[in-house]
Amino acid sequence: MLKPADYSVTERLRDGRSIAIRALRVDDREEMLAAIGRTSAESLRRRFFVPKRGFSETEISFFTEIDFDRHVALVAQIDEDGRPVIAGGGRYVMTEPGRAELAFVVVDAYQGHGIGTALLRHLITLAREAGLRELVAEVLPENGAMLAVFDRLGFSARAASDPQTRHLVLQLA
């Protein structure tokens, strides 16, 4: 069985560059904050559904202190000018037994290279290994790129409680 806290694989992006998809570590805190700093206000709005430029200490702790049981987080790390940087991240958080909600963000400079797709594929693998039955995601209708990623990986649209979002579901079992 895969151990989410130890998860690490190397992939090739569409342009041939190598990227590491790995479990978020406690010592990634500063690099995660730096990645957020390199992400546009519009990309953050598409992720959080509200304008977001800063995070409280409580929010930072939630995003960086992962139990890898009910909350699993992966990062995509790429070489930038000779040093590894976080180019994106994805996570799922269990909302009830057998069901988890997904969320992603990719730094603007790396969007459109397959990072979101890679993160999602690996989170689906980990969710299946954990015995989850269903993954869900809420996506803004104007976030066409992310909607396309979910569609390619088999998610289907369901009626949303909020008409401002698209509710997507993937049955795992």
Domain 4-171 part of CATH 3.40.50.720: no
Has residue 73 got a pLDDT over 90? Answer: yes
**Rama region for 97: left / alpha / beta (φ>0; ψ in -120 to 50; rest):** beta
The first and second tokens of residue 79, run together, are 């070489």
The first and second tokens of residue 146, run together, are 């992310």
Residue ranges covered by each domain of the chain = 4-171
The first and second tokens of residue 86, run together, are 């976080």
Burial class, 102, CB count within 10 angstroms (exposed 0-12 / middle 13-18 / buried 19+): buried
Residues 6+ apart with CB under 8 A from 171: 133, 134
**Cα 44 to Cα 135: distance, rounded to the nearest angstrom:** 22
Alpha-carbon dihedral sign for residues 36, 18, 104, 63: negative
What tens digit of pLDDT does each residue of 17-69 get? 999 999 999 899 888 888 887 777 777 667 765 666 677 777 778 788 899 99
- pLDDT for the residue numbered 62: 75
Task: Give the three-state DSSP class for 164.
Answer: coil
CA distances from 8 to 12, 122, 152 (A): 14, 10, 23
Residues 6+ apart with CB under 8 A from 166: 138, 139, 140, 141, 147, 157, 160
Q: Please tell me the pTM assigned to this model.
A: 0.89
The DSSP element (H or E) to which 128 belongs, if any, is helix 115-129
What tens digit of pLDDT does each residue of 141-171 get? 888 888 899 999 999 988 767 778 888 999 9
